[in-house]
Amino acid sequence: MPTLDAILPRLTDEMRADPDWGAVATYIPELAGVDPEQFGISVVLADGTCHSAGDCDTQFSVQSITKVFTLAIALGRSGDQLWERVGREPSGRAFNSIVQLEQEQGRPRNPFINAGAIVTTDEVLGTRAPRDALAEIVQFVRHAAGTDDIHINETVAASENAYGHRNYALAHFLASFGNLLNAPELTLGTYFHHCAIEMTTKQLAMAGRFLVDAPALPRMISPQRIRRLNALMMTCGHYDGSGDFAYRVGLPGKSGVGGGILAIVPNVASIAVWSPGLNRYGNSLKGTKALAILAREMSWSVF
Ligand SMILES: NC(=O)CC[C@H](N)C(=O)O
């Protein structure tokens, strides 16, 4: 089998040569200015070694990928009670869709669509001040990644808040159904801030180690919870593109609108890829392409 150190630079060259970079998200003005022609990839193997290529040292907005970390924290705090407030089914709809929320009386389909992540964030917030909940989230991510050099970009959070009408609509809808403990602006303030965490692909691949379940990698949650988080990433991690991602890549993954994807090869590896241009589902165009090639070349699949 070819080694990662041979595959990753070749994959990066291939991605850079492909003229279709997709389109960056524009609804968060601060993200609209990011140069789409960037590509980075990092893989941490079960032995702890990290292999990277391309723009692997550039920090980017991880956005919805943080929903995996907040879900892990919410489950740690509340256990199965969380599932009274949010479901575990794929939504088959865009990440920011509101229609299902009305039809299903304010219980979001899963924790990875925006409505579900707002509920999860609300659970993590509890009765605390947003600053305390955010400190816990950032600490969890730093601990997982094994570095303190991970921060929230306040400008990105403010930019999203200023234009966050849809997320405000979702939060108010949740509140109208009695599924929000805190005032919408408090929960959303916390949500926008954790989405605005920035990482490099190296840091993100390191942070994903806690989902791999390998003896040499840090253990932060139980093996059973690792399997369950991976199951949700597989079924819901790419919104209405989750089926397509499972078909093409065959691994649990979570995307963010900043163009990052965290994918897990259970017991084998944590993979982070970043390219800011998105496909029609709002998932990284080249990130998905690169993962499909890498998974095939390494024979990595859960199927
Ligand atoms: N898909 C995403 O990454 C969406 C996250 C973004 N913060 C939002 O709420 O719209």
46-69: pLDDT as tens digits? 999 999 999 999 999 999 999 999
Active site residue 168: no
Domains in the chain: ranges and CATH? 4-62+199-298 (3.40.710.10), 64-197 (3.40.710.10)
pLDDT digits (tens, 9 = 90+) for 108-120: 999 999 999 999 9
CA of 214 to the centre of ligand 1 (A): 30
Q: Is the CB of 256 under 6 A from ligand 1?
A: yes
Active site residue 247: no
Whole-prediction pTM value? Answer: 0.98
Which one from 191, 273, 281, 284 is the annotated catalytic residue?
191
Q: Is the CB of 281 under 6 A from ligand 1?
A: no
Give the residue, by CA position, lying nearest to ligand 1 atom 8.
114
Q: Is the CB of 64 under 6 A from ligand 1?
A: yes
Model-level ipTM above the cut of 0.95: yes
Q: Which residue has the tokens 């999860």?
A: 120
Q: What is the pLDDT of residue 1?
A: 58
Shortest CA distance to 127 belongs to which of 195, 178, 190? 190
Q: Is the CB of 282 under 6 A from ligand 1?
A: yes
Going 209 to 211 to 299 to 285, the CA torsion angle's sign is: negative
CA of 95 to the centre of ligand 1 (A): 7
DSSP-based three-state secondary structure for 9: helix
Ordered alpha helix ranges (H), 237-283 = 242-248
- Averaged confidence pLDDT in the chain: 97
Closest atom of ligand 1 to 239 CA is 1
pLDDT digits (tens, 9 = 90+) for 22-39: 999 999 999 999 999 999
Average pLDDT of the segment spanning 93-111 = 93
Shortest CA distance to 300 belongs to which of 260, 252, 262? 252
Residue 239 marked as a ligand binder: yes
Which one from 42, 52, 61, 64 is the annotated catalytic residue?
64
Q: What is the Cα–Cα distance from 65 to 158, expressed in whole angstroms?
A: 19
Burial of 220 (0-12, 13-18, 19+ CB in 10 A): middle
Average pLDDT of the segment spanning 189-208 = 98
- Could you tell me if 41 and 290 are in contact, meaning their C-beta atoms sit under 8 angstroms apart? yes
Q: What is the Cα–Cα distance from 67 to 15, expressed in whole angstroms?
A: 27
Who contacts 171 (Cβ-Cβ below 8 Å, separation ≥6)? 118, 180, 184, 187, 188
